[in-house]
Amino acid sequence: MDDPLILPDEQKPSEEPKENNPYLIPGAIIAAGALIAFSVMYSNGGMQKAGAPKETAGVGGAVSEKVALYDDTDPFLGNPDAPVTIVEFSDFQCPFCGRFFETVEPQIIEKYVKTGKVKFVYRDFAFLGDESVWAAEAAKCAHEQGKFWQYHDYLFNHQQGENGGAFSKANLKLFAQSVGLDTGAFNSCFDSGKYLAEVQKDTADGRALGVSGTPTNFVNTQAVTGALPLEEFERVIEEELAKAQ
């Protein structure tokens, strides 16, 4: 079930791309950073702002020892033996997760994942409604065919607000065709509800680990909440790399 280690510039679907390639580093990132730092997180109570208590955006403490951050079934990019592991808890409908995907994630992948320093793991925190759950289930069905990351990218590139039909079951099946999946196998997997319990477990594990909104990334055991600027992630990653030396 594990995907091959596909790096980002090999994994984009060919149909309906966004105008800007999220794996290129746009010059507007610096300007966008200020906006990102201002409002960077979706939580159970809505958007959160930086610089507030632990449950809001920022860098938190160590995670709970009662729940594993990830396991071998979770999709990942990079060297499986990298000294630093980043585990992202995300919701495919979350606009700030989309912003993280477009701006910060490709830079982390370019600087740290492709160089073997970081293993990047994705887990679901599907809390924004039915379409979040359906999208997460669909991505896991794509994972069965070794194309999780292609489907993951397609979802984030086609966000259109929350629970308005963009990630309807019918559309999710069309997306499978767009990224080149075996649609018969995908539809059978998706219609069966095979991965519903796993999506629910991901979300429950996230809550047990202290996740209250998305995106939340764990850099080894340090929680970084919100679509913070790259510099915040670099600081924590470099700290963890130094510890590993």
The per-residue pLDDT for 58 is: 56
What CA–CA distance (Å, rounded) separates 5 from 78? 6
Q: What is the CA radius of gyration of the chain?
A: 17
Find out whether 228 and 50 touch, Cβ atoms under 8 Å. Answer: yes
Split the chain (245 residues) into runs of 10 and give each run's mean pLDDT: 41 39 38 42 46 39 70 95 97 97 97 98 97 98 98 97 95 97 98 97 96 94 92 96 92
What CA–CA distance (Å, rounded) separates 7 from 24? 13
Q: What is the pLDDT of residues 92-141, one digit of tens each?
A: 999 999 999 999 999 999 999 999 999 999 999 999 999 999 999 999 99
CATH class of 25-244: alpha beta
